[in-house]
Chains A and B, each alone.
Chain A
Amino acid sequence: MVWKDEKMKITMAHGSGGTASHQLMEEIFAPYFHNPILDLREDAAILSMEKGNYAMSTDTFVVTPLFYSGGDIGKLSVCGTVNDLCCMGARPQYMTCGFILEEGLSFEVLERVVKSMAGTAKGAGIRLVAGDTKVIDGQGGLYINTTGIGRIPEGRQVRGANLAPGDAVLVTGVLGEHHATILSHRMNIENQIQSDNAPLNGLVEALFDAKLHPKAMRDITRGGLGTVLHELAQSSKAGVLIEEEKLPVSPAVQGFAEILGLDPLYMGNEGKLVVVVPWEERERALSLIRSQELGREAALVGQVIQGEGVELKTRLGGTRRVPPLVGEGLPRIC
C-alpha cells in the first residue's frame, strides 16, 4: 500500500485501543498477517499441538538502524526466534510478536517492517498467531519482541552440554557480516558488506534428514563465535580448540575489522550457526551444509578437547586462549 500522505505518523492515539488502534490493525497489520488462527481475532490464539517435547524462546529486537543492507528489524525479529528454536532441533511452528512504537514513527516505515516480517515468517514456515502494539513517547523508534514455539521431533537430542572431546566443530559460513553491516551504517561507511540475517531452520532440517546427529548447535549472534564457543565449552565442561587458518572470514569483513581494530571472532552474525557433530560425521556434515544455499561457505574450524575454555592455534603454529567478550561490544546490533 502506498500512503497518500507520506507524513502520516504514529501518535499516542494509535496505542489507545480505540479507533486509531483499530485503524492501525486494519490498515497495516491485517493485510500482511493473516491465517486461520489469527483471523479469529480472539484475545488469545488457540493451538492444537501434538504430544512431545517443545522448544520455546523469546527475543527482543532493538537494532538501529531499522533498515540495513541485507535486512531490517522485521526480518531480524523472525530470524532471531526461528534460529533459537532450530538450534534445539525444533521445527518452528508458531510465533507471537509485540511491537513498541515510538510516537512519530511513520506509517510507511512500519508497513515496510511488517511486510518484511510477514514475508520472512512465510519463508520460514512459522505462523504468527498473536500480536500486540503499544505506543510510547519518543522519536519515531521501533522495537519488536517475538516469542516462538516449535516441536522437537522424537530422537533429537541437541544440547549445549553435549560436547565431548573429539567432536568436530563446524560453522555454517563467514563470520561477522551482520556486525560489520550495522557498524558500516552507523559510521556512514559505504561498502559491499551485507547482513547475513536469514532463517536457518531449512538448513538444520537438512542435517537431520541426512541422518546426521548434531550434538549441539548455536546461532552465532552477539559476542561472535568466540563467545558462543565459550558458552558451549562451559556447559559441557570441555575445551574447544579452533584453528585460525580455518576460520571463514570474507576479505571485505577482514579488512573492515582490521581498520577498526575489531576481531571477527567477536563479531555477531544473524544467519550462521556453530554445529558440533561426532568426529566421524564431520565430512558428511560439512558437504551437506555446503550444498545448502545458506551454508556454501561452511568450514570445519576445530575440535572439542579435554580441558576448558577456547584455544586458538595461530597461523604461525602458536597457541593462545580466546577469552569471552568482555563488556558491551557493539550495542543495539539486534
Chain B
Amino acid sequence: MKHPQDILERLKRYDGPPLRIMEVCGTHTAALFRHGIHSLLSPKIQLISGPGCPVCVTPTQYIDRLVEIALTPHHQVWTFGDMMKVPGEEESLSQAMGRGARVHMMYSPFQVLEEAAENRDTIFVLAAVGFETTTPIYAQVLKEAEERRLENIRLLTSLKQITPAMEWILSHRNTIDGFLCPGHVSAVVGWEVYQPLAKAYQKPMVVAGFTGIHLLQAIDRLLEYQGEGVVFNDYPGVVSDKGNPVAKSLMEEVFRPDEAVWRGLGAIPQSGWYLGGTYGKYDMGSFAIRKDKKLPAGCLCREVIIGDNTPIECAAFGKNCTPESPYGPCMVSEEGACGIWYGRMRK
C-alpha cells in the first residue's frame, strides 16, 4: 500500500491530461468536502457530483402528490427531514404544513409501526425515497407491518438504482474519466455490478469508503488506471463481490424493478423499485408519478447532475438559488451538489 503522504504529493502535482471524476453518492460528495479533498488536488483533477442524491433526482410531481396526501383527512405523511423543503410545482411540504398539511419528520421509518398500531383510523404514508441502502429498510418495515396486520401503512415510493443512471451518463455523455462508486449502496448490491459498465465503456471504477485517506486512495487509483475498464473494491471490510444477500432477497421479495423518472434525466428503464406481489397493496400509486416540472429558466441542475457543468457555472447559483430559497433540486438537499458547493463557496 502506498503511503498517504506519497498519494497526497502525487495528486497535488498531477500535470497530465485533465481528469473528470464523478462520485454518485451524496455521502461521498459530503465527505469530499468535509475532508477538504478538493483543496488537495491538482487543478487538472476535477471532481463532479453525479446523480447520487436521491432527493435531487425525485420528480416534482412526487412532492405534489405528498402535499395532496398530507392535506387529505385521516392521512399523515412521514418523511425524512431532507424532503421537507424540496419545492413541488406549487409548494414544499413544509410550506403546506402552514395550511394544515399533516407531515411528520421521522428519524427512522420503523417508528411508524407503533404509531400505526395505536392510531388505526389514520393512514400513515411513508415518503420512501432513496437508493439500495434505503430500499431494504422499507422492505423490512412492510414485512413487520404485514406480520402485525397493520393495514393503515402505505408507501409512496421514489426508490432508485444507481447503475442504470451511471449507464445513462456514460451512453449520453462521454466526458467522465472514472467513477467513485458508492460505499453504502455497494455494500448491498456488491462491487461486481459495476464490471459490465466498466468493461463496456473502458472506464476505471473504484468502490470507496468515506475517510479522507479512503477517498485519496480511490482517486489515486482512478488516476493510475486511466482508460482501463477495471473495478476495484477499496472498501473491502464493508463491500463484497455479491453484496448483502439478505438485504437483496428482502428487497426482491417486496419490490420489483421498473422504469423510473429521474429529475433532469427523464425516464430510465428498470431504474426504479416498486412494490409488487403481496406488497402491492401498500403502494400509494407510485408508478403513476411520471411528470417532472420543467426546471426554471437558467437552472443548470440537469447539467450539474450529468456532469456537464459545476454548480458555480450556473448563473442562478448563490444569487436567486440558495439553500434558504432553492430554485433547483440540487440546492435543496444537504446532499445535493449545489447545496454542498454553496456551503463551501460562500464567502
> Does B85 contact A312, Cβ atoms closer than 8 Å?
no
Q: A316-B8, A316-B216 are in contact. Are A309 and B347 (CB under 8 A)?
A: yes
Within 8 A of B (CB), among A8-38: none
Question: A323: which B residues are within 8 A, CB to CB?
Answer: 342-344, 346
B324 near A: Cβ within 8 Å?
Answer: yes
- Nearest chain B CB to A102 CB, angstrom units: 20
The residue of chain B having its C-beta at the shortest distance from the C-beta of A307 within the complex is B347
Question: A260: which B residues are within 8 A, CB to CB?
Answer: 107
State the CA gap A319–B212 with chains docked (Å). Answer: 12
Q: Mark B13-49, 1 if CB is under 8 A from A, else 0.
A: 0000000000000010000011111111000000000
The residue of chain B having its C-beta at the shortest distance from the C-beta of A329 within the complex is B81
State the CA gap A327–B332 with chains docked (Å). Answer: 11
> Does B107 contact A187, Cβ atoms closer than 8 Å?
yes
Q: A318 contacts which of B35, B85, B342, B346 (Cβ < 8 Å)?
A: B35
A155 near B: Cβ within 8 Å?
Answer: no
> Does A327 contact B40, Cβ atoms closer than 8 Å?
no
- Nearest chain B CB to A318 CB, angstrom units: 2
Q: Mark B187-223, 1 if CB is under 8 A from A, else 0.
A: 0000000000000000000000000110010000000
B345 near A: Cβ within 8 Å?
Answer: yes
A52 near B: Cβ within 8 Å?
Answer: no
Question: A231: which B residues are within 8 A, CB to CB?
Answer: none
Q: A319-B39, A320-B344 are in contact. Are A314 and B212 (CB under 8 A)?
A: yes
State the CA gap A313–B345 with chains docked (Å). Answer: 15
B175 near A: Cβ within 8 Å?
Answer: no
> Does B39 contact A309, Cβ atoms closer than 8 Å?
no
A326 near B: Cβ within 8 Å?
Answer: yes
State the CA gap A315–B27 with chains docked (Å). Answer: 18
B108 near A: Cβ within 8 Å?
Answer: yes
> Does A187 contact B344, Cβ atoms closer than 8 Å?
no
State the CA gap A301–B342 with chains docked (Å). Answer: 24
> Does B343 contact A321, Cβ atoms closer than 8 Å?
yes
> Does A321 contact B344, Cβ atoms closer than 8 Å?
yes
A308 near B: Cβ within 8 Å?
Answer: yes
Q: A326-B323, A326-B324, A327-B85 are in contact. Are A312 and B344 (CB under 8 A)?
A: no
State the CA gap A312–B33 with chains docked (Å). Answer: 11
Question: A314: which B residues are within 8 A, CB to CB?
Answer: 34-36, 212
Question: B343: which A residues are within 8 A, CB to CB?
Answer: 321, 323, 326
State the CA gap A21–B216 with chains docked (Å). Answer: 67
State the CA gap A318–B108 with chains docked (Å). Answer: 34
> Does A316 contact B347, Cβ atoms closer than 8 Å?
no
Question: B107: which A residues are within 8 A, CB to CB?
Answer: 183, 186-187, 260
- Nearest chain A CB to B114 CB, angstrom units: 10
Question: B27: which A residues are within 8 A, CB to CB?
Answer: 261
> Does B36 contact A312, Cβ atoms closer than 8 Å?
yes
State the CA gap A315–B346 with chains docked (Å). Answer: 22
State the CA gap A320–B40 with chains docked (Å). Answer: 10
Q: Mark B322-347, 1 if CB is under 8 A from A, else 0.
A: 01100000000000000000111111
The residue of chain A having its C-beta at the shortest distance from the C-beta of B335 within the complex is A261
- Nearest chain B CB to A140 CB, angstrom units: 18
- Nearest chain A CB to B111 CB, angstrom units: 8
A251 near B: Cβ within 8 Å?
Answer: no
Q: A323-B342, A326-B323 are in contact. Are A315 and B35 (CB under 8 A)?
A: yes
- Nearest chain B CB to A36 CB, angstrom units: 48
The residue of chain A having its C-beta at the shortest distance from the C-beta of B80 within the complex is A261
Question: B37: which A residues are within 8 A, CB to CB?
Answer: 316, 318
State the CA gap A320–B342 with chains docked (Å). Answer: 12
> Does A187 contact B108, Cβ atoms closer than 8 Å?
yes
Q: A260-B107, A326-B323, A327-B323 are in contact. Are A316 and B212 (CB under 8 A)?
A: yes
Question: B40: which A residues are within 8 A, CB to CB?
Answer: 316-318
Question: B4: which A residues are within 8 A, CB to CB?
Answer: 316
Question: B324: which A residues are within 8 A, CB to CB?
Answer: 326-327
Question: A318: which B residues are within 8 A, CB to CB?
Answer: 35-40, 212
> Does B346 contact A309, Cβ atoms closer than 8 Å?
yes
Question: B342: which A residues are within 8 A, CB to CB?
Answer: 323
The residue of chain B having its C-beta at the shortest distance from the C-beta of A186 within the complex is B107
> Does A320 contact B323, Cβ atoms closer than 8 Å?
no
State the CA gap A319–B35 with chains docked (Å). Answer: 8
Question: B85: which A residues are within 8 A, CB to CB?
Answer: 327
State the CA gap A271–B34 with chains docked (Å). Answer: 26
The residue of chain A having its C-beta at the shortest distance from the C-beta of B107 within the complex is A187
State the CA gap A112–B323 with chains docked (Å). Answer: 41
Q: A187-B107, A326-B324, A327-B85 are in contact. Are A320 and B346 (CB under 8 A)?
A: no
State the CA gap A308–B346 with chains docked (Å). Answer: 10
Q: A326-B324, A327-B85 are in contact. Are A316 and B346 (CB under 8 A)?
A: no
The residue of chain A having its C-beta at the shortest distance from the C-beta of B322 within the complex is A326
Q: A320 contacts which of B8, B39, B108, B213 (Cβ < 8 Å)?
A: B39
The residue of chain A having its C-beta at the shortest distance from the C-beta of B210 within the complex is A258
Given contacts A320-B34, A320-B38, 16 further A-B contacts (CB under 8 A): A187-B107, A309-B346, A315-B212, A316-B4, A316-B36, A317-B40, A318-B35, A318-B36, A319-B39, A320-B39, A321-B345, A321-B346, A326-B343, A327-B85, A327-B323, A327-B324
- Give 10 nearest A-B pairs by CB, closest first: A318-B36, A323-B343, A314-B36, A320-B36, A316-B212, A326-B323, A318-B39, A318-B40, A314-B35, A321-B344
Question: Can you name 25 A-B pairs with beta carbons within 8 Å?
Answer: A183-B107, A187-B108, A308-B347, A314-B35, A314-B36, A314-B212, A316-B4, A316-B8, A316-B212, A316-B213, A317-B36, A318-B39, A318-B40, A319-B36, A320-B34, A320-B38, A320-B39, A321-B343, A321-B344, A321-B346, A323-B342, A323-B346, A326-B324, A326-B343, A327-B324
